[in-house]
Amino acid sequence: MTNNVIISTNIAQTLTDTIEHIAHDKLFLLADQTTYEQCFPVVKHLSCLRHAQPIVIGATDACKTLDTLAQVWKAMSDGGATRHTLLVNLGGGMVTDLGGFAASTFKRGVKYVNIPTTLLSMVDASVGGKTGINFNGLKNEIGVFNAPETVIIDTEFLRTLDHDNILSGYAEMLKHGLISNESIFTQLLRFDVDHVDYKTLGEMVGTSVAVKERIVEEDPLEHGIRKALNLGHTAGHAFESWALTRKPVLHGYAVAWGLICELYLSCVQTGFPMEKMRQVVHFVKENYGLLPITCNDYDELYGYMTHDKKNTADTINFTLLGSIGNILINQTARKEEIFQMLDFYREGV
C-alpha cells in the first residue's frame, strides 16, 4: 500500500498529468468551505477540472462526522458516480481523511487523489493510506486503510495558512525528527517558526514526508514499526478528545503536548536523554503553550487513553524512544505512572 507522492512545483501541470493518467468516467472534487474559498481558485481554471462536480462540506474537525460522510456519499450518488469515478480531495487532514473514507466505501471503493493544503495534511494525514471519521466522541474511531492513487504536495498552499496551522503541522514534523535522526531533529528545533522561510520549509516537508513514507512502506497496516508514527499520540489524542467537549484544539497542538508526556515516560522508562526532552519541552511550551488541565481531569484523560486503537485488551500502549531514532513500540504504563506523566506535563520543566 504505497502512495505515489509527488512534491510539485507546478500544481497545474502535475494535477493535469495525474487526472489524465487515471481512467475515470466522472470526476468529483471535495473541499471544505475554507479550502473551497482559499485553495480551489488556484486550480479551478484548469481544463482537467472542467467537468468536475464540486462537493463542499463544513470546515474544522467538528465536521469529520458520519453526517458529513453521508452528505458526500449522497452528493456522489446524486451526481451519478459509479465504481469508475475519481474523487479529488483538496484540503487539510479532515478533508483527506473523510474524503478518503468516502471514496473507499462508496460503491465498495472508487479511486481518489489527495491534494493536501495544510502543513499537517502534507506531512501526516495525506500519506500512508489511513482514512476515517470521528465517532462517539472519539478521534478517527471508524475508518479503513486505503491509499490514494496519488498525493500531490505543493508547498505554495502553505502561504494560505495562519500561524496556528503552520504550528499544528510542525508538531508532526518534530515527531518525524525525533523518530529519525539527530540532524533532522536539530534543524527542526532551530527553524524560525515565527518568521517562516517558505523555501526552506518546503525542503523540510520533503524530508518529513520521506521519513513517513519509509516507515509506511515497511509496515503498511501498522502491525509493527509503523507504530513509531504514534509517538505523542496516545496522550495527544486524549488531550484532543478532552478538548472536543470544551474548546477544540488543533490536532498538532495536541500532539505537541503529547510529545511532552511521552518523552517524559521515555526518560523514566527507556532512558531517553533528559537534556533532549528538556529541549522539546522548552520548544513546545514556547510555541504551543499548554492545555489547561487540572488533576481533576486525570481520570477522564485516562479513560480516553483506554480507547486508543493501539491498545490490547487491558493495557495502554505507548510508542517511546530510547534516544533519537531509537524507537520502542508497544511500551505500557500503569495508571499511577500515567498520572505522574500528567503531573510532569502540568508542573515539569
Look up residue 322 and give its amino acid.
G
202 and 242 in a single domain? The answer is: yes
303 and 172 in a single domain? The answer is: yes
What's the pTM value of the predicted model, to 2 decimals?
0.86
Q: Please give the tally of structural domains in the chain.
A: 2
93 and 190 in a single domain? The answer is: no
Residue 129 gets the label, from left (phi > 0), alpha (psi -120 to 50) or beta, of left
144 and 167 in a single domain? The answer is: no
Residue that is last in its domain, among 160, 189, 224: 160
Residue that is last in its domain, among 109, 126, 160: 160
196 and 95 in a single domain? The answer is: no
Contacts of 306 (CB under 8 A, 6+ apart): 316
The whole-angstrom separation of Cα 240 and Cα 230 is 14
Can you give the CATH number for the domain in which 213 is found?
A: 1.20.1090.10
181 and 140 in a single domain? The answer is: no
Domain span including residue 115: 5-160
User: Residue-wise pLDDT tens for the chain (349 aa)?
Assistant: 446 888 888 999 999 999 999 999 999 999 999 999 999 999 999 999 999 999 999 998 889 999 999 999 999 999 999 999 999 999 998 999 999 999 999 999 999 999 999 999 999 866 778 899 999 888 788 999 999 999 999 988 998 899 999 999 999 999 999 999 999 999 999 999 999 999 899 899 999 999 988 888 887 777 788 888 999 999 999 999 999 889 989 999 999 999 999 999 999 999 999 999 999 999 999 999 999 999 999 999 999 999 866 655 568 999 999 999 999 999 999 999 999 999 999 987 5
Q: Which helix (H) or strand (E) holds 90?
A: strand 86-91
The whole-angstrom separation of Cα 96 and Cα 169 is 14
27 and 152 in a single domain? The answer is: yes
Query: Is residue 89 within 8 Å of 118, Cβ to Cβ?
Result: no
The whole-angstrom separation of Cα 247 and Cα 171 is 20
184 and 40 in a single domain? The answer is: no
Residue that is last in its domain, among 125, 160, 195: 160
128 and 190 in a single domain? The answer is: no
216 and 273 in a single domain? The answer is: yes
220 and 283 in a single domain? The answer is: yes
170 and 122 in a single domain? The answer is: no
List, for residues 97-127, the tens digit of each pLDDT value. 999 999 999 999 999 999 999 999 999 866 7
The whole-angstrom separation of Cα 307 and Cα 235 is 11
Give me the residue label for grid cell 486524549. 238
